[in-house]
Structures are given as structure tokens and as C-alpha cells.
């Protein structure tokens, strides 16, 4: 292991050392594919003007080179249908009708293709689902189409669309595209879009023959975080023809790298917080059942899994409102898991209080039963939980630092659940009773608390929260029968590390373990990082068996 | 009750019981038992239960045609529950207690390795339908999935030649298949002139779900001015959060394509594939391949499962080929005796589902076409590249120092799974 670690460190150092100067070959322009059918050859064929239909019929070819030529030619046509047709091609709505070997707009309707004329959009017929197939495009064609669409979108009235279009064209050195960018730059009023266009133009200027143009471009690009910029500067560094240019390039790259490093630290912290929030969600229910009640519940993971499946079922029941079904799923998952939790408490755990080993075995059995039940009801295959639009994508702060929305929401959600639970335990009557029973059952009963009922309710509460965690985890991981197993160990780890019976301890433990894990991961790899964290916890528990925040008072002495 | 009445009853009872005994004997003599050894519970149930259904469907189909040599096929399904030692126990049970003539089973390499000594000891017959790391050839096993040279190597060739990729991230789950495959790929890439610093290797535990750091590392690795691709041997479940993270962090297939060896239609049926469009997978079969054989197979599968949303995948095709080959071999050998069938298997040809013919070679591996597909937004793959003709499965990789001199040949006179062409001798059970 030491050897591997050492090798990784060396590899990392080597990578750091050479990263400034290692681009060995000139940058390949993503739009210029390795095996190009050049545009001139297309122009050559093109003496008689072709109709739109004739051009797109060339997409029936199996060769991607021929398809590319057809797309480039299509993009050149002065016809309002060009952009919709390119979009249709991207969305697999251009289909190859096998019967008469033509291309038409196709829409799947009741297992059949409804074919429409590409130009007039008139319905021209219906064919069996196997009689027509969408035109296959690959990544290279997708880039070509995206560039053409971006070119068309460059003069769009919406500045967001212009911004994206300019971004797509960065790194492109097609003279036609550059001319369009330069023309747009003169009219552009939005600074955001203008900056994006400047980046694109400056990268292109790095290839200029004139040294001052190049030096100006290098200066302008210094500190620019767009990934293409660093690529282009590194490439240029290999071709630099004067010490002045080399120096300017090195300075510019160094500035970019310093900025990237700063943001990478921020990135790691965010990743750590995010992992911490997942740990917190998984563990917080356990902090109640294990921490407060002292029940070792091996079925805790399966209660999380039930919550995740509830999310799935809610989405199935409300097929039209995926965007908001999560809001219904949260209370539904709470109720389902809480209900199952109360059943487990009433029928299994109740008879086993004070016998931790038997509880462990019995709840482990329950966990297997729940897993297999889900396999029988939902099949062993994973279920798709749809991520709503507002949770997809990332909040892009700059090209090297972005916060993914799903993680961001889950951090807030975990904290909200934590605060709600804390309030419940500290401010409500049930909370008071729970605390009383967990501190001293006999005295609590003596004071008239129905400890049986409180036990059931507390266990239900912990289980319900596990269910709520399941809703959040369904957005991050697979919804399948094994979902629970992957979280049960982490949950126990967090609760024990934080100090049994202490919610704040759970919070601190979850976030510190999350961040520690993420700090170690780039250095040691995911497997080793996990091992290191586990070993650390084992050593820590040896020294302080009661965790970070040991419980004080009578309960602690039991 | 009169005496005669009770005598009648007794007689009827005797007749009935002897009839049952007789019919039992007829059953035993007149059926061919087929063992199905796929996990129906535990981690692997997600993948393996589909293959159990595939075998049952094939058996049903064969019985409709009248069975083999006039005998009906009788499936014996056991559940090894994703528990590797249990695989060995269940195999022993199938061969000694149930007396099956053939076993279709296993998915993970570790389960196969656990079954291997048992089938060799009891001289059973196992058909293994999943792509694997190679470096094995047993007299009692037929490998109908892809060997590394039928999946990994062509895929990397495609990346280098067609996409111009110069830097590679080899990302895998931490177990035997990814580690061996990546060892082979690393050696292969170096032989192609890719420098050590342009290869990043990363392993993650089973079911890994927090991919944030790794995806961001891949992003950084890919922003060094050279075209970068990820070669993924990430297994099963862990793929879903991996692809989700790629989508969320904005890594598109146009920037950094991911080519996967363990992601098929079944795995994608658990994800919204919108953000994944354009990422690649290399297999010997895709559901989207258009030909009559495949269409018929898909229809049959939908009818059998009663669900026309169920997808088909590569290991199902491998099961299909394996089953049909076994049927042909039994008919050719006119016996279900392991040795006779194993001899008859070599050289057997059956149609595959991609419009060609599968051939069983003397090393117990198939000749198959290699296809590369891009993920589409409907969870299917569109084929963007395929090999010309068939690629012969290679039991021992030519790119590993320990195995490059080994060949497997189960025909006379060699009859050896790991024959060393240098020392001209048959080695032990395996290399290394």
C-alpha cells in the first residue's frame, strides 16, 4: 500500500511539474475531425442547386463523413427551416423511412411513426415503428451541428442564448465562424457575451502571424479560466518563437493556474460538505433510534430504501408533475417509513429491550425481509427516479468552479431536517418525553409518562426521518433493493463517532468525516481514503469510546 | 366397509402409486435437466435474474420445438444469492443431487472462479455468458461472453484512430475484472506509444456513489490540451451516480467521451439518459441492431416477460448463443455426456443476433463481431462503429508478460487450456 501511495504521490508531482509545458502536439480543433470531408469538396459537387429534401436525403448514408458533408451543406442554405431541421436531427426526430429511402420528420405516436414533410411540415403518412429509424449521429456530427446552431444563434435577441452560442464557438478556428463572431462583437452590448466573444477571438488570435497581435491576445487571456484558454496557451508555448512570447505565455499560464488552485480548494470543501450532508441525512434517523433509544437497528438502511421507493411510487402516481412530486414524496416517505418503523418496534424490538445482541440479529433479519419484499414487489432491477429540472445542472460560478444543484439542495435539506428534529426534541412535549424516557425509564414512568407509547413514537420518528433521507438519496444514487446496505455502516460510523445520544455530535461528525474523506480522496484514491477514515475512527474510539461529544449525566453511566 | 370395497381401494391405490413411480421414472429418463445458476437475490440479482429468465425462455422455446432428441428439457433453477461460496455449493448440488446435464450460470468473475474447481472435479459443463477479463480456459467451461480482445482492445483502437484520443483515464471498480482489463489496456496503450503520464488509473469500491472528486479530477486531467477519453470498467450500480455526476458537472461526450464495458441497455434502464447522449459502450450486441433474428428475439422476450418495455442486452445474446450451441452439440453428439458434448461443441456455428454467425473455437471462446454504440436519449445505443468480420476470442492476452506465450486448445492432440508455445508444455491451472 505504501508503495502505491508513494507511486501516486510521485505521479502527482510529475504531473504538476510537466503540466505547464506538456502539450506535445498542436491542439486539435474539435470541429475539424480527423477524417474530414472538406467543405471545398462539397462545394465542388454542388453545381446544380439542390432542394432541402435532396440535401437531407443524403443523411440516409451509413457513412458519417457523408452525413457530415450533408449537414454542412444544409447549414449553408438560406432557408428558415434549416435551424429547426438541425434541431430535429439532434433530437432524433429526423427519421430514415426505409420504404422509399427518404428522410422525413418523424414523431412516435402510439408505437407508430407519424411522418411529416421536412419543409412544409405536412403529415405525409404513418409507418410501423420498425419501418423507419432515426438518423444516427455521433459525437463528431453533434459538434458540427452544435457549431452550426451556435452560429445561427449568435444574433439571437436573447442574451443568454447568445452567451451560450459564443461559448460553444470558443476554440473554433473556422474563418467563417470567426468572421461572424467579430461582426457580432461590434454590435454586442452585453458585457458577459462580449467577454465570451473576446475569449474566442483572442484564442484565434494566438495563431496569428503577427507577433504583437499574439502578445496582445496572450495578455488579454491571462487569468482567463475557460478550459480552452489553458489548452491554447499551452499549445502556443511549444511554438513560441521569441523569449518575450515564451515569458508572456508562462506568466499567463501561471496566473491561470494560481486561480484554478484557489477554486479547487473551494471545490473540495463543497464536495466534503455535500458528502457530509448525505452522511448526516443517513445517520440522523439512527441518531434517534440508536443514539437516544439505544436500539441497534440494522434495518435502518432499509427504512431509507423504503423512502426512496416511496419517491419512485409518488412519481409513478403523478406522471405529469415530476417537477413538484418531490414535495409530496417527503411527507409520504416519512409516513411510510414511520409506519414500518412502528410495526418493527411493536412486533420485534419491544420484546427485546435491553438485549442488544438479540435486537441486532432480529433487526438484521427484518432488513433481509424488507429487501426481499422490495425485490418481489418492484423486481430486483433498479427503478428510475426522475431528477426534476430545478435540481439538474450546476450553478456555474466560473468555468472551473461550479456547484451542482442537486448537491446544493441536499446540503440545505439535510440542515433543515436536522433543525426540525432538534426543535422537535427540545421544544415539544413529545421531545421532552423522549428525552425523559431515554435518560431514565423508571423515573419517567413514575412521573406518568407512557413509556411504551413514547418508545413506539420515537422509533417511528427515527424511521420516518430515515424515509425522508431516502427521498434525498434517491436523487443521488440508485433506487434498488441494496440501497440501504450501502448506508448502514456509514450511519453507525457517524453516530458512534459523534457521540451516542448527541445530535450536535452527529452533525459535527457527519461534516468532518465528509470533508476529511474528500481531502484524502485526491491523494489516496477513493478506496484508500475510505480505509484511512475507518482506521482513524477505530483509533479514535479506542481513545474516546464515547465519541466526540460524550453524553453526560445519569444516562451516560448505564 | 366391505372387504371387496377396501380391496378395490387398495388396488386402486397400488395402481395409482405405481403409476406415479412409473411416470417419475419416465420423467427421469425422458428429460434433459438444465441447471440455471444465477443469483435471484442479493447484489447481483439486478443483472442475473434477467439471464435466468432468458434461459427459461430458451428452454420453453426448445420444448415447443419438441425438445432435444425427443426429450423435453427440464430447468432446475437454484439461487446462489450473490454469495460466492454458495455458487460452489449450489453447483455441487446441481451436478450430484439434481444430476443436471449442463449449467448456464454465473455473472461475476469471482463466482465463476468459485464454481470452476467444482465443475472440473465433477466433470460438469458450464456456459458462462458474460464479458470477462480472460486469462482462463477450462475444459468444462464455455465462455460465450467477450474476452478483452473482443471488447476492450477494439474500443481503445476506436478511441485512438477515430476520435484522436491521446490521454486515457482508466476508471474501474476495485475487483478482478477491471484490474486485469486495465493491466492489459495499460500494456496495450504503452505499446501504442501513449506515455505513462497520459494514463490515469482510478479504482473505486463497489456501489460507489459519491463521484464528485473523481469527476472533477477527470475534468482537470482532460483540460491539458490533448483529447481525453475515459475507459470505464465501473461495474453495475455505481454507473448511475457516475453518469449523473458527469451530466451535472457538464462533462459532455463531445469533450470527454466515456467508453464503458459494463454498461448495457439494462443498466441504462435505471437512468434518465438525456445528459449521457454520445457516451460510448463496446459490446458484441446491442438491442438496436436491426435484423430479423434480433427483432424476433426481442418480440419473444417481450412476450415471455409480458412487458414490452423490457430491454435485451449483450449477456442475453451470449446466453442465447450458448444455449443454441449446446442444443446443436447435444444433437451432434447424440448424447448429453459432458466429454462428448464438449468435443462436439468445438466448431459449432449458430446465428448470432447481429446478423452474423457465432463460431465456437478450440479455446472454448467464441468468434464475435465487436460493436461500438453511442448512448441515445431513449436508453438505447446507436451503433457508430463495428469490426469488419468476426474477432476470435483470445483466452490468454497477448499484452501481458505472464500470458503472451500461452494458448488454449482443447482439440486433440494438445488438449490443454494453457499450452506454453515457448516451452512446449501444458502449464498448471492458470498463469501468474
Question: Distance (Å) from the C-alpha of residue A18 to the closest C-alpha of chain B?
Answer: 9
What per-residue confidence (pLDDT) applies to B9? 52
pLDDT band at residue B81 using 50, 70 and 90 as cut-offs: confident
Residue (of B264, B414, B336, B320) closest to B68 by Cα position: B336
**With 80 as the cut, is the pLDDT of residue B38 above it?**
yes
Last residue of some domain: A207, A241, A275? A241
Residue B28 has pLDDT above 60, yes or no: no
Q: Do A27 and B162 touch (CB under 8 A)?
A: no
Classify burial at A461, counting beta carbons within 10 Å of its beta carbon; exposed 0-12, middle 13-18, buried 19 or more. Answer: buried
Neighbours of A319 (CB within 10 A): 9
Identify which of A372, A406, A478 has the shortest CB distance to residue B270: A478
Query: Does residue A467 carry a pLDDT above 70?
Result: yes
Which residue of chain A comes nearest to B277, CA vs CA? Answer: A139
Rounded CA-CA distance A282/A498 in Å is: 14
What burial class does residue A16 get, using C-beta atoms within 10 Å of its C-beta: 0-12 exposed, 13-18 middle, 19+ buried? exposed
Between A405-427 and A243-286, two packed helices, what is the crossing angle to 10 degrees? 30
Q: Tell me how long chain A is.
A: 558
Task: Tell me, yes or no, whether A75 and A165 share the same domain.
Answer: no
Tell me: pLDDT of B426 over 70.
yes
Residue B82 burial by Cβ neighbours in a 10 Å radius (0-12, 13-18, 19+):
buried
CA neighbor of A306 nearest in space, from A467, A458, A490: A467
Residues A434 and A310 in one domain: yes
Residue pair B11/B51 in contact by the 8 Å Cβ criterion: no
**Helix (H) or strand (E) segment spanning residue A381:** none
Residues A88 and A189 in one domain: no
Rg of chain B over all Cα atoms, to the nearest angstrom: 24
Mutation pick from B42, B169, B210 vs chain A, by most beta carbons of A within 10 Å, is B210
| Alpha-carbon gap, residue B212 to B132, rounded angstroms | 28
Q: In this structure, is residue A325 part of a structural domain?
A: yes
B257 close to B229: Cβ distance less than 8 angstroms:
yes
Taking an 8 Å cut-off on Cβ atoms, the answer to whether B225 and A30 are in contact is no
> A18-27, A127-136, A268-277, A483-492: which has the highest mean pLDDT?
A268-277
Please report, rounded to a whole number, the percentage of residues in chain B having pLDDT higher than 70.
Answer: 91
Q: Measured in Å, how far apart are chain A's first and last C-alpha atoms?
A: 41
* Cβ-based contacts of A30 with chain B (< 8 Å): 254
Q: What is the CA radius of gyration of chain A?
A: 31
| Count of C-beta atoms within a 10 Å radius of residue A223 | 16
What long-range pairs does A243-251 form, CB within 8 A, spacing at least 24? A244/A215, A245/A211, A245/A214, A245/A215, A245/A218, A248/A215, A248/A218, A248/A219, A249/A218, A250/A20, A251/A222
Residue A61, in any domain of the structure: yes
Alpha carbon dihedral A428, A430, A432, A436, in 10-degree steps, equals -170
If asked whether residues A274 and A208 sit together in one domain, one would say no
In the block, cell 476508471 appears at B171
Q: Considering only CB atoms, which chain B residues are within 8 Å of A476?
A: 209-210, 241, 244
- Mean pLDDT estimate for chain B: 87
What pLDDT was estimated at residue B97? 95
Spatial CB neighbours of A236, under 8 Å, sequence gap ≥ 6: A206, A214, A218, A245, A249
Rounded Cα distance between B223 and B220, Å, is 5
Neighbours of A159 (CB within 10 A): 13
B248 with A394: Cβ contact below 8 A: yes
How confident is residue A553, by pLDDT bands cut at 50, 70 and 90?
low
Helical H runs in B222-350? 239-248, 265-268, 292-305, 314-333, 338-345
What per-residue confidence (pLDDT) applies to B206? 80
Inter-residue long-range contacts of A398-402, CB under 8 Å, 24+ positions, other chains counted? A398/A225, A398/A263, A399/A225, A399/A226, A399/A227, A400/A225, A400/A227, A400/A259, A400/A260, A400/A263, A400/A264, A400/A267, A401/A263, A401/A266, A401/A267, A402/B249, A402/B250
Give the DSSP letter of residue B273.
-
Owning domain of residue A209: 154-241
Residues A340 and A459 in one domain: yes
- pLDDT attached to residue B359: 94
Is pLDDT at A48 greater than 70 in this prediction?
no
B232 φ, ψ (degrees, to nearest 5): -110, 125
Residues 474-513 of A with CB under 8 A from B: 476-482, 486
Contact B129, B315 (CB under 8 A): yes
Whether the pLDDT of residue B391 is over 80: the answer is yes
Enumerate domains of chain B plus CATH numbers.
152-260 (3.40.50.2300)
3-state secondary structure B174-222: CCHHHHHHHHHHHHHHHHCCCCHHHEEEEEECCCCCCCHHHHHHHHHHC
Worst-scoring range by mean pLDDT, A340-344, A483-487, B113-117, B368-372?
A483-487
The candidate with the shortest Cα–Cα distance to A479, out of A371, A341, A339, A320, is: A371
| Predicted TM-score (pTM) above 0.80 | no
pLDDT confidence band for A47 (50 / 70 / 90) = low
Same domain, A200 and A103: no
Nearest to A391 by CA among A376, A416, A412, A375: A412
Which residues in chain B are closer than 8 Å to A133, comparing Cβ atoms?
290
pLDDT at A38 over 70: no
The C-alpha angle B417, B420, B421, rounded to 5 degrees, equals: 120
Residue A13 counted as domain residue: no
Residues A463 and A314 reside in one and the same domain = yes
- Restricting to B residues 149-178, those with a Cβ less than 8 Å away from any Cβ of A are 162-164, 166, 174
Of A18, A260, A267, the CB nearest to B197: A18
Same structural domain for residues A312 and A163? no
Nearest CB to B214; choose among A133, A232, A526: A526
Give the phi and the psi of residue A469 in degrees, each rounded to 5: -60, -35
Cross-chain CB nearest to A28 (options B50, B164, B266): B164
Task: Provide the H-helix boundaries in B81-175.
Answer: 84-92, 109-121, 152-163
In a domain, residue A410? The reply is no
Query: Is residue A246, in this structure, part of any structural domain at all?
Result: no
**Structural domain contains residue A247:** no
* CA B243 – CA A392 distance, rounded (Å): 13
Domain end position, chosen among A208, A241, A274: A241
Give the Cβ contact number of residue A63 at 10 Å: 10
A309 in contact with B, Cβ within 8 Å: no
pLDDT band at A7 (very low <50, low <70, confident <90, very high): low
Hey, of A67, A260, A405, A477, which one would you mutate to test binding to chain B, going by the most B CBs within 10 A of its CB? A477
Distance CA B231, CA A337 (A): 40
Q: Do A95 and A173 have their domain in common?
A: no
Distance from CA of B187 to the nearest CA of A (A): 17
pLDDT digit string (tens) for B329-364? 999 999 999 999 999 999 999 999 998 999 999 999
A407 within a domain of the structure (yes/no): no
| A366 and A481 inside one domain | yes
Report pLDDT digits (tens) over B211-250: 988 998 898 888 777 889 999 998 877 887 888 888 888 8
Report yes or no: B247 at the A interface, CB cutoff 8 Å.
yes
Task: Report the Cα B341 to chain-centroid distance in Å.
Answer: 20
What confidence tier does A552 reach under pLDDT thresholds 50, 70, 90?
low
Residue A26 has pLDDT above 50, yes or no: no
DSSP B223-246: -SSS-EEEEEE--GGGHHHHHHHH
Residue B124 has pLDDT above 90, yes or no: yes
pLDDT at B226: 82
Mean pLDDT of the residues in chain A:
83
Residues of B in contact with A264 (CB under 8 A): 216, 220
Q: Is the model more confident about A396 or about B198? A: B198
Question: A380-394, A522-536, B76-90, B254-268: which range is least confident on average?
Answer: A380-394
Buried b (16+ CB within 10 A) or exposed e, A178-212: bebbeebbeebeeeebbebbbbbbbbbbbbeeeee
Tell me if A23 and B226 make a contact (CB, 8 A cut-off): yes
Closest alpha carbon to B59 in B324, B354, B310: B324
Burial of B305 (0-12, 13-18, 19+ CB in 10 A): middle
Task: Give yes or no: residues A332 and A447 share one domain.
Answer: yes
User: Please, which residues have CB within 8 angstroms of residue A406's CB and are 6 or more apart in sequence?
Assistant: A387, A391, A392, A475, A476, B244, B248
Looking at residue A23, what is its pLDDT?
A: 35
Q: Which of A173-182, A414-423, B337-346 bottoms out in mean pLDDT, i.e. has the lowest? A: A173-182
CA distance B61 to A211: 75
For residue A385, being part of any structural domain is answered with yes
| CA nearest to A150, candidates A28, A30, A26, A27 | A30
Task: Indicate the number of domains in chain A.
Answer: 3
For residues A103 and A222, state if they share a domain.
Answer: no
C-alpha cell at position A168: 460553444
Amino acid at each position: 500500500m505504501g508503495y502505491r501511495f508513494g507511486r501516486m504521490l510521485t505521479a502527482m508531482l510529475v504531473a504538476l511539474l510537466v503540466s505547464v509545458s506538456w502539450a506535445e502536439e498542436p491542439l486539435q480543433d474539435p470541429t475539424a475531425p480527423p477524417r474530414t470531408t472538406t467543405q471545398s469538396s462539397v462545394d465542388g459537387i454542388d453545381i446544380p442547386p439542390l432542394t432541402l429534401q435532396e440535401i437531407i436525403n443524403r443523411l440516409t448514408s451509413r457513412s458519417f463523413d457523408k452525413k457530415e458533408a450533408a449537414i454542412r451543406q444544409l447549414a449553408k442554405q438560406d432557408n428558415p427551416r434549416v435551424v429547426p431541421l438541425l434541431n430535429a436531427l439532434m433530437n432524433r426526430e429526423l427519421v430514415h423511412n426505409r420504404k422509399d429511402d427518404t428522410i422525413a420528420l418523424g414523431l412516435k405516436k402510439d408505437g407508430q411513426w407519424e411522418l411529416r414533410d421536412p419543409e412544409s411540415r405536412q403529415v405525409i403518412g404513418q409507418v410501423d415503428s420498425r419501418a423507419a429509424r432515426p438518423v444516427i449521429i455521433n459525437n463528431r456530427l453533434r459538434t458540427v451541428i452544435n457549431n452550426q446552431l451556435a452560429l445561427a444563434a449568435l444574433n439571437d435577441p436573447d442574451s443568454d442564448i447568445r452567451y451560450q452560442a459564443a461559448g460553444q464557438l470558443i476554440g473554433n478556428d473556422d474563418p467563417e465562424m470567426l468572421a461572424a463572431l467579430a461582426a457580432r462583437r461590434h454590435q454586442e452590448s452585453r458585457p458577459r457575451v462580449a467577454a465570451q466573444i473576446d475569449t474566442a477571438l483572442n484564442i484565434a488570435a494566438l495563431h496569428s502571424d503577427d507577433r504583437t497581435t499574439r502578445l496582445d491576445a496572450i495578455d488579454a487571456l491571462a487569468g482567463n479560466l475557460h478550459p480552452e484558454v489553458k489548452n491554447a496557451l499551452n499549445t502556443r508555448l511549444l511554438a513560441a518563437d521569441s523569449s518575450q512570447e515564451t515569458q508572456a505565455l508562462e506568466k499567463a499560464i501561471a496566473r491561470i493556474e494560481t486561480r484554478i488552485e484557489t477554486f479547487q480548494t473551494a471545490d473540495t470543501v463543497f464536495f466534503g460538505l455535500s458528502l457530509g450532508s448525505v452522511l448526516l441525512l443517513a445517520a440522523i434517523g439512527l441518531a434517534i433510534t440508536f443514539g437516544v433509544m439505544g436500539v441497534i437497528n440494522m434495518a435502518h438502511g432499509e427504512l431509507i430504501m423504503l423512502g426512496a421507493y416511496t419517491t419512485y411510487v409518488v412519481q409513478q402516481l403523478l406522471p405529469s408533475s415530476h417537477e413538484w412530486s418531490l414535495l409530496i414524496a417527503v411527507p409520504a416517505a416519512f409516513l411510510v417509513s414511520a409506519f414500518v418503523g412502528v410495526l418493527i418496534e411493536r412486533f420485534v424490538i419491544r420484546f427485546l429491550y435491553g438485549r442488544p445482541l438479540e435486537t441486532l440479529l432480529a433487526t438484521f433479519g427484518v432488513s433481509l425481509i424488507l429487501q426481499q419484499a422490495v425485490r418481489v414487489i418492484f423486481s430486483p432491477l433498479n427503478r428510475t427516479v426522475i431528477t426534476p429540472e430545478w435540481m439538474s445542472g450546476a450553478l456555474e460560478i466560473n468555468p472551473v468552479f461550479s456547484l451542482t444543484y442537486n448537491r446544493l439542495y441536499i446540503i440545505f435539506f439535510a440542515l433543515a431536517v436536522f433543525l426540525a428534529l432538534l426543535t422537535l426534541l427540545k421544544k415539544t412535549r413529545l421531545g421532552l418525553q423522549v428525552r425523559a424516557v431515554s435518560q431514565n425509564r423508571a423515573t419517567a414512568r413514575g412521573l406518568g409518562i407512557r413509556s411504551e407509547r413514547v418508545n413506539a413514537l420515537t422509533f417511528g420518528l427515527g424511521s420516518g426521518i430515515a424515509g425522508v433521507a431516502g427521498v434525498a438519496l434517491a436523487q443521488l444514487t440508485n433506487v434498488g433493493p441494496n440501497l440501504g446496505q450501502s448506508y448502514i455502516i456509514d450511519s453507525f460510523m457517524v453516530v458512534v463517532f459523534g457521540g451516542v445520544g448527541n445530535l450536535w455530535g452527529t452533525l459535527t461528525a457527519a461534516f468532518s468525516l465528509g470533508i476529511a474523506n474528500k481531502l484524502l480522496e485526491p491523494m489516496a484514491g477513493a478506496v484508500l481514503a475510505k480505509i484511512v477514515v475507518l482506521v482513524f475512527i477505530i483509533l479514535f474510539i479506542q481513545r474516546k469510546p464515547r465519541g466526540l461529544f460524550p453524553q453526560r449525566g445519569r444516562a451516560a453511566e448505564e | 366397509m366391505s372387504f371387496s370395497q377396501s380391496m378395490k381401494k387398495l388396488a386402486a391405490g397400488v395402481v395409482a402409486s405405481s403409476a406415479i413411480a412409473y411416470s417419475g421414472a419416465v420423467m427421469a429418463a425422458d428429460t434433459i435437466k438444465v441447471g440455471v445458476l444465477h443469483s435471484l437475490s442479493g447484489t447481483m440479482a439486478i443483472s442475473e435474474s434477467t439471464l435466468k429468465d432468458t434461459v427459461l425462455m430458451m428452454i420453453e422455446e426448445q420444448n415447443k420445438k419438441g425438445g432435444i432428441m425427443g426429450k423435453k428439457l427440464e430447468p432446475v433453477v437454484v439461487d446462489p444469492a450473490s454469495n460466492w461460496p454458495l455458487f460452489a455449493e449450489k453447483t455441487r448440488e446441481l451436478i450430484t443431487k439434481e444430476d443436471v446435464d449442463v449449467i448456464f450460470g454465473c455473472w461475476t468473475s469471482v463466482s465463476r472462479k468459485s464454481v470452476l474447481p467444482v465443475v472440473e472435479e465433477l466433470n460438469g459443463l458450464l456456459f458462462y455468458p458474460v464479458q470477462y477479463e480472460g486469462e482462463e480456459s477450462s475444459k468444462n467451461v464455455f465462455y460465450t461472453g467477450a474476452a478483452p480482445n473482443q471488447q476492450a482492445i477494439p474500443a481503445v483502437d476506436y478511441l485512438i484512430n477515430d476520435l484522436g484520443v491521446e490521454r486515457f483515464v482508466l476508471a474501474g471498480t476495485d475487483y478482478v475484472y477491471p484490474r486485469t482489463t486495465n493491466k492489459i489496456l495499460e500494456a496495450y496503450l504503452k505499446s501504442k506509444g501513449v506515455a505513462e503520464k497520459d494514463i490515469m488509473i482510478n479504482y473505486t469500491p463497489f456501489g460507489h456513489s459519491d463521484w464528485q472528486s473523481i469527476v472533477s479530477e477527470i475534468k482537470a486531467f482532460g483540460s491539458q490540451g490533448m483529447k481525453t477519453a475515459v475507459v470505464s470498467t465501473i461495474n453495475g450500480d455505481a454507473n448511475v451516480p457516475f453518469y449523473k455526476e458527469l451530466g451535472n458537472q457538464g462533462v459532455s461526450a463531445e469533450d470527454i467521451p466515456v467508453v464503458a464495458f459494463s454498461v448495457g441497455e439494462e443498466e441504462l434502464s435505471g437512468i434518465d439518459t438525456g445528459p449521457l447522449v454520445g457516451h460510448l459502450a463496446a459490446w458484441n450486441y446491442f438491442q438496436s441492431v436491426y435484423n430479423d433474428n434480433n427483432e424476433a428475439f426481442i418480440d419473444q422476450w417481450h412476450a415471455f416477460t409480458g412487458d414490452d418495455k423490457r430491454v435485451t442486452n449483450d449477456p442475453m445474446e451470449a446466453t442465447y448463443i450458448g444455449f443454441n450451441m449446446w442444443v446443436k452439440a447435444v444433437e451432434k453428439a447424440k448424447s448429453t455426456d459432458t466429454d462428448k458434448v464438449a468435443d462436439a461443441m468445438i466448431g459449432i456455428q449458430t446465428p448470432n443476433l447481429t446478423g452474423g454467425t457465432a463460431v465456437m473455437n478450440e479455446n472454448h471462446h467464441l468468434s464475435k463481431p465487436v460493436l461500438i454504440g453511442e448512448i441515445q436519449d431513449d436508453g438505447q445505443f446507436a451503433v457508430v462503429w463495428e469490426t469488419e468480420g468476426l474477432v476470435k476470442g483470445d483466452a490468454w492476452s497477448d499484452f501481458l508478460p505472464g500470458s503472451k506465450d500461452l494458448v488454449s486448445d482443447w482439440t486433440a492432440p494438445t488438449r490443454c487450456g494453457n499450452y506454453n508455445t515457448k516451452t512446449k508444455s501444458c502449464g498448471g491451472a492458470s498463469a501468474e
